[in-house]
Structure 1
Amino acid sequence: MKKRIVIFGDSNTWGYDAKSGGRFNEEIRWPMVAAKILGDRYRVCEEGLCGRTTCLDDPFNEGLSGLNYLLPCLQSHSPLDMLVIMLGTNDCKERFSLTGANIALGMRRLVIKALGADVWRDKPNILIIAPGPILKECENSAVGSNMGRCSDKSYKLSMEYKFVADELKVGFFDAAPYVVMNDIDFMHLTADSHIALAKKVSEIIKETLENKEVKI
């Protein structure tokens, strides 16, 4: 049976293309590129949603709390071998008034829920990904009126997520050294960054599920 992986994220997992305003195709979106790299022994379930938060209900958009959707999502794809979570960018919106440490508590709730879910084929394997930070230029871009002051706290997520991963004994990966944000809205990955992220995450998935030493 194929090893099943859920990749759970926001618009940078869904594949938002800031240049076109549409969606990158499957040859670019990082979960689908990772699936291709991993090959026929793996089944990657792509679960990205634009605007998704860790655990927050957005007052202007319905259904964006990752916490509310996580369990049915995992159940629908079970039995699972691994869960990859890359969230937090939308939690940085000024209207939520959170610190980096607050956002990490949202990630912590997600991981705890996933660890306790009856969806695992063998044992829970979870990887937290700290997303690439939102560049300061985003606040003065076309999306700045929606995002507000969001950049500074996004740079705190890597450190705070690492604390959560260490506490809960799950995997952690900082995407920042491997990705670049576009020069239009300064918060979404470039096409090249999707490819780079896919290569690294697929390596971590394979090493984790084949019981090899993971080098991050």
Structure 2
Amino acid sequence: MSKAIVCLGDSNTWGYDPRGFGGGRWPDCVRWTARLNARPEWIIYNLGENGRAIPHTPFELRTLCGQLAALRPFDGLCVMLGSNDLLLGVPPAAAAARMERLLVCLSSLGVPFLLIAPPCFHPGDWVREEALLAASAHLAGYYRILAGESGAAFADAGCWDIPLCFDGVHFTAEGHARFAAQAGGAFAAAFCGAK
């Protein structure tokens, strides 16, 4: 039986394609969420949003809870956020503190959830400072600890060798394909008990 999974994320979950003027969206055949949705074991709700940082204020958390309530029932929740926080100058430790507040809120939903650390940035048009590259490399360590403390499953997409576009942030078409392949295994472990 198919499992309904909500994917909460930013532009890489939404499927942003930065190549066109003003950007665009990769078609279903490219986006990692749509690739997983095409598999019989998954029903994927894409709750990706361009520019989304980690919801952490009371208003943001209430708004998100409303979005999630509109999608119920579902069997699990995948969260991949933090890249925009870093791009806005939030240090990795502070981004992790935001994520901790979000995970506390999500734990009340009573469904399993998977925390994915985003792929590390690469040098590019949006990533010109060494400090930003270092920040993106450190985020996964914080998230691993948070997942262990909250009972969430964890995956580090920084280990998945995801190709990024010229901006150093967004997935290429091949990046979406590789991400979907790796995420499929992480989803099975998190939501179906596969090891």
Would the TM-score normalized by the shorter structure come out above 0.5?
Answer: yes
Instruction: Confirm or deny that 1:84 pairs with 2:105.
Output: no
CA separation of 1:56 and 1:114: change in aligned 2, threshold 3 A: closer
Q: Is 1:98 equivalent to 2:94 in the alignment? A: no
CA contact under 8 A between 1:12 and 1:189: conserved in structure 2? yes
Counterpart amino acid of residue 180 in structure 2: A
Give the conservation status (yes or no) of the 8 Å contact 1:132–1:175: yes
1:156 aligns with 2:138: yes
Looking at structure 2, the residues matched to 112 and 149 of structure 1 have their Cα atoms a distance apart, in angstroms, of: 29
Q: TM-score, normalised by structure 1?
A: 0.80
For 2:158, the aligned partner's letter is: A
Q: Which residue identity lines up with residue 12 of structure 1 in the other structure?
A: N
2:36 alignment counterpart = 34
Counterpart residue number, 2:118: 131
TM superposition shift of 1:209: 3.0
Unaligned runs of 5+ in 2: none
Q: Is the 8 A contact 1:92 1:151 kept in 2?
A: no
Runs of 4+ in structure 1 off by over 6 angstroms are none
1:18 aligns with 18
Cα displacement string for residues 109-135 of structure 1 (whole angstroms, at most 9, x for unaligned residues): 111111113xxxxx4211000001122
Change (3 A) 1:28 1:163: same
Structure-2 change in CA distance of 1:156 and 1:144 (3 Å): closer
Offset, 1:67: 3.3
- Residue type at the aligned position of 1:125: P
Count of residue correspondences:
191
Summarize the alignment of residues 1-216 of structure 1 with structure 2, pairs less than 5 Å apart.
2-20=2-20, 21-37=23-39, 39=40, 41-55=41-55, 67-94=61-88, 97-117=89-109, 123-135=110-122, 137-138=123-124, 141=125, 143=126, 150-178=132-160, 179-182=162-165, 184-213=166-195
Residue identity over aligned pairs, in percent, reads 29
Give the distance between the partners of 1:56 and 1:212, measured in 2 at CA: 31
Deviations 1:21-53 (A, max 9, x none): 21100001111101113x1x4321011101000
- Shift, 1:8, TM fit: 0.5
Q: Give the CA RMSD over aligned residues.
A: 2.4
Letter in 1 for 2:79: I
